[in-house]
Amino acid sequence: MRRLYVYYQVAESDLGAARTAALSLQAELVQAHPGLSAELLRRPELRDGRVTLMEVYGQRDGAPPGQAIEAAARQRLGRWIVGARHVEVFDGLEDNLAATACAPSPGA
């Protein structure tokens, strides 16, 4: 399963509003994109009065709809985000192992 990890910072004073908006956004995205899963995490410590939030998205079949997620996030969360949203893409290791096991070895 391919996963998107999106992290960003919000001011500690904006955490409640940003959390509510992010959870609402994720619920709408999950409903609009069958097979999409979403989770919202936070870093336990503060940095310069800011909280780091992380959205995690997984797609049962294929890749999560990254462009749709980012477009919706800019519109719905942009007012609380301090700095940039950082997007990282990872594949599940079980997917990589299966692909590696089926691939021919070099020189075979």
pLDDT in tens, 82-94: 999 999 999 888 7
The domain containing residue 41 runs over which residues? 2-92
Instruction: Give this prediction's pTM.
Output: 0.82
Q: Assess contact for 108 and 20: CB atoms under 8 A.
A: no
Query: How many structural domains are present in the chain?
Result: 1
Number of CB atoms found within 10 A of residue 43's CB: 13
- Rounded CA gap, 55 and 57, in Å? 7
For residue 103, is pLDDT > 90? no
From 36-50, 56-70, 74-88, the region with the lowest mean pLDDT: 56-70
Q: Is the pLDDT of residue 5 over 90?
A: yes
CATH number assigned to the domain comprising residue 64 = 3.30.70.600
The Cα-based distances of 3 to 79, 80, 84, 90 in angstroms read 25, 24, 19, 5
Is 74 a member of any domain?
Answer: yes
Could you tell me the two tokens for 20?
């509510």
Report if residue 77 sits inside a domain.
Answer: yes
